[in-house]
Amino acid sequence: MTVTVEKLLARGDEISIEVGRLVIRPSSGKSVPQEWRDIHSPALLGEILLTLGAEAYEYGGYSTGLYGPHKAGGVTVQFPSFVGGMKTHAIFNADLNRERTTKAGAKGSPLPKGHFRISPRSHLFQLWQSTGLSTPKSLTSLHDYLGNLRGILFSADMVAGRKNRLDTGTLRPLSITTAEVRKAFQPDNGRTTTGQVTDNCRTVVPDRDAAPAQQNQGFQPKPSACAKNYVKTLISTNVYTTATVPVHSRKQPAEQTEEEWLADCFPANIDNTTEP
């Protein structure tokens, strides 16, 4: 038997998305087996997002690189969209050189490929903290733990004028309440009006022929057989290039705020990413 959100609600179960993960509270009071959750969560999440007309993003890998004329370090994290399959990404500032001399290398020398340093005020560290995942003993080892972001759905705004780029300051785990799910799926309760979806559901399902919307569109009419037709798209790591542009800040990446780093390496009138 096909498992759908409507069938679960009809049984009296409560369904929500909390800290980016599907949460089901059965009316029986019993816990949901992990194996069952692993099998059915992707389709149920897709059904919820499609019905609400919302989009979410999932971790798809990362790469480090040097950006701008001054070769400022950064971390590009792939966040392919869960529903639309768009190749979306976010770029965080980071330092790719050693902070001090050690047996592994001299101060200022490049860190090994894939390694990076960030400060506690970095948007990447703030994103990590918002997930509730355990914080590594040292931020210099965060690269070893980024894979733990898999399985968590995120919401975010798009950066205006930047193709498929997410605003790092708005990235956070997706949250959709039990009440929002119930109102979206039960016609007798009416449809939720614009503005009642949580801030985490602001980004709507993208139109591939138009710029991504930035405003909450509320619940949308439910597509037919959305769960059956839902296909999860896996996105491979992409390579991003940068254009040479004037910059004014000469601070080290780890010392800059996200805004200073973005203004330095990615001026507002230039899109520094290219589609592979």
Torsion of CA 146, 22, 82, 152, to 10 degrees: -10
Residues 6+ apart with CB under 8 A from 137: none
pLDDT tens for 214-243 read 333 333 333 333 333 443 332 233 333 333
Instruction: Say which range, 115-119, 235-239, 263-267, has the weakest mean pLDDT.
Output: 235-239
- The continuous run of DSSP H or E covering 128 comes out as helix 123-130
Q: Which of 80, 168, 191, 179 is nearest to 118 (CA)?
A: 168
How far is 242 from 176, CA to CA, in rounded Å? 36
Residue whose tokens read 């993208």:
206
pLDDT tens for 179-204 read 999 999 986 754 444 344 444 443 33
The answer to whether 170 and 56 are in contact (CB under 8 A) is: no
Instruction: Read off the tokens for 243.
Output: 């254009």
Q: Is the pTM of this model over 0.75?
A: no
